[in-house]
Structure 1
Amino acid sequence: MVEAWDRLHSGELRVAGRVSTASNVTLVCDIGDTDDDTEQPPLRVVYKPIRGERPLWDFPDGTLAGREVASYLISEAIGWGVIPETILREGPFGLGMVQRWVQGVDNHTERGTRLDLIDLCPTGAVPDGFREVLRALDQEGNPVSLIHADDPRLQRVAVLDVLLNNADRKGGHALESVDGQVYGVDHGICLHTEDKLRTVLWGWAGQPISAELITDITAFATRLPGRVADTLSEHITDAEIDALIERTRHMVGNPVMPVPRTARPIPWPAL
């Protein structure tokens, strides 16, 4: 049986659709089909060709695809598996990022509805197990709160975002999968040398990071300047790697989640 990782690298990409709400060209593809000799179901992936990227004035170096791959490599080097398998390879529209599709849980079924990991609720009615991020008015003028689950799986995503300097952690970029994991996706604008952290996961701001996570980050910090940095250098600049090293060292020395320091700490749209 052909392993999923091998199929991700070498299988033929067949375009099944396009994510029309994405800022850059984002295609949904299948690798293989039920009619081939492997007798395996198609492997669904996301394919973002570099030629479909819109230039960003504040991210002039490299590519969005390269940053996505670098973010995945960092998650793997820490040992967290927070980002789905992500590679750089050729596809129908040239070189691009290919990432395993995450099948999310359905919180809105005939049996009832429960809150998503990141959601809205009436102000003053934050349910147990959730943290409030901000208060605002909805389209009808009703007061609402942006909230996220106080979930260790999601917190690990938030800690990784600090290391990645993620400038775009929207609610729809954190996915609760049917396999029980919580994954982060869409890391095209990460790893800048300047502080650009924008996220909806501010509920832990100022809170200590768990000793378990810091143990993993400490081990990562010792490996980062060597082999890991060499691998990352294929996708991001030396200055960006140096900034990552500095952020990692700072977190080890000061294991506390940051607080917002910019005028725009939350991406738009938030969800």
Structure 2
Amino acid sequence: MDDDTTGAAPTAAVPPPEVTTTAFGGLSPSEGLDLLRRGEITVEGRLTAASNATLYCTVSDGGVSAACVYKPVAGERPLWDFPDGTLAGREVSAHAVSEALGWSVVPPTVHRDGPYGEGMVQLWVHGDTTVDLVALSRETDHPGLRRMAVLDAVINNSDRKIGHLLPTPEGHLYGCDHGVSFAEDYKLRTVLWQWQGQPLTDEALISLATLRTRLRDASDPLGALLSAHLTGPEVYAVRERVDLLIHHGIHPYPAPDWPSVPWPPV
């Protein structure tokens, strides 16, 4: 899309969402990322409900430790509609886009070697178990939920389920399981359709404009990270989706020829 066909986004600064450390056992997100990169991973068990190998682990370095999820590439089942790259790489890419938007929607996530080979390692979110996730997924005035809907539109998330919502006791909202994202074709499938056709918030437009600038800057490390885990057409499709969101200024509609809600939705 050419620049002269793309709408202008607001440029006023929007304060980033507040992120507390309770979700990660007292670690800040940056401290958590550092620990994920350098710590030793010890497998504690397996999350058997997951369709791919998903291991509950502890990552430790000296006196610092945290719970995490480790998804080795060796445990991924091949998917016909995601024949290239890895699900682990797509999870890491989703975290990178979330951070580029300035929203911290995705928990700290890295790609590294582990006990069963390379894979995705993500900090475990100690969420607020008192929250009714079904009721939360239907809210229309929750800023974090609306940010998540925008992130999903950018990364083309084809599997945003209710159970992927991770609210913290302080009110911040994280989301997990982004392995089936970034398809080249439009495959948005989510439980968060309550804003379809509604104008994007000024905050969203500002963050999308920042993301677009970074995606177009060949020297920005975001592009290199995405290119390491996604195909060239998939990276191009990310830029196109951002351009379209800014140009039209609204939340997207479901695709007419693609299931709009994942099954099961929970």
Q: Normalising TM by the smaller chain, what interval? A: 0.7 to 0.9
Match of 2:56 in 1: 28
1:78 has 2:101 as partner: yes
Q: How does 1:27-176 map to 2 (within 5 A)?
A: 27-32=55-60, 38=63, 40=64, 42-107=65-130, 115-116=132-133, 118-119=134-135, 147-148=138-139, 150-176=141-167
Q: Relative to structure 1, is the Cα distance of residues 151 and 161 closer, same or farther in structure 2, using a 3 angstrom cutoff?
A: same
Question: Do the aligned partners of 1:67 and 1:191 also contact (CA within 8 Å) in 2?
Answer: yes
How many Å apart are 1:37 and its aligned residue? 5.0
Which deviations, in whole Å up to 9, do the C-alpha atoms of 1:132-169 show, x marking residues without a partner?
A: xxxxxxxxxxxxxxx34531111100010000000000
Q: AA paired with 1:8?
A: L
Q: AA paired with 1:251?
A: L
User: Within 2, Cα distance between the matches of 1:237 and 1:198?
Assistant: 21
SS at match of 1:202: coil
Which deviations, in whole Å up to 9, do the C-alpha atoms of 1:227-256 show, x marking residues without a partner?
A: 222221111111001000000001111110
Match of 1:186 in 2: 177
How many Å apart are 1:263 and its aligned residue? 4.1
Structure 1 runs (4+) greater than 4 angstroms displaced: none
SS at match of 1:251: helix
How many Å apart are 1:179 and its aligned residue? 4.2
The answer to which structure has the higher strand fraction is 1
User: Within 1, Cα distance between the matches of 2:97 and 2:52?
Assistant: 23
SS at match of 1:204: coil
Q: Higher relative contact order at CA 8 Å, sep ≥6: structure 1 or structure 2? A: 2
1:267 has 2:258 as partner: no
* Structure 1: runs of 5+ lacking an equivalent: 108-113, 120-129, 132-146
Question: Do the aligned partners of 1:163 and 1:248 also contact (CA within 8 Å) in 2?
Answer: yes
Q: Percent identity?
A: 45
Match of 1:9 in 2: 37
User: Within 1, Cα distance between the matches of 2:139 and 2:55?
Assistant: 28
Q: Relative to structure 1, is the Cα distance of residues 37 and 194 closer, same or farther in structure 2, using a 3 angstrom cutoff?
A: closer
User: Within 2, Cα distance between the matches of 1:74 and 1:217?
Assistant: 10
Which of the numbers 231, 240, 246 marks the counterpart of 2:225?
231
User: Within 2, Cα distance between the matches of 1:251 and 1:78?
Assistant: 13
Match of 1:134 in 2: none
The answer to which structure has the higher helix fraction is 2
SS at match of 2:228: coil
1:245 has 2:239 as partner: yes
Q: Relative to structure 1, is the Cα distance of residues 183 and 3 closer, same or farther in structure 2, using a 3 angstrom cutoff?
A: closer
Q: AA paired with 1:187?
A: H
User: Within 2, Cα distance between the matches of 1:12 and 1:270?
Assistant: 35
How many Å apart are 1:92 and its aligned residue? 0.8
Question: Do the aligned partners of 2:187 and 2:258 also contact (CA within 8 Å) in 1?
Answer: no
User: Within 1, Cα distance between the matches of 2:172 and 2:195?
Assistant: 20
Q: AA paired with 1:266?
A: V
1:201 has 2:192 as partner: yes
Q: AA paired with 1:83?
A: V
SS at match of 1:84: coil
Q: AA paired with 1:25?
A: A
Match of 2:10 in 1: none
Which deviations, in whole Å up to 9, do the C-alpha atoms of 1:27-49 show, x marking residues without a partner?
A: 010123xxx852x4x31000000
Per the normalisation by structure 1, the TM-score is 0.82
Question: Do the aligned partners of 1:29 and 1:47 also contact (CA within 8 Å) in 2?
Answer: yes
1:217 has 2:240 as partner: no
Question: Do the aligned partners of 2:33 and 2:109 also contact (CA within 8 Å) in 1?
Answer: no
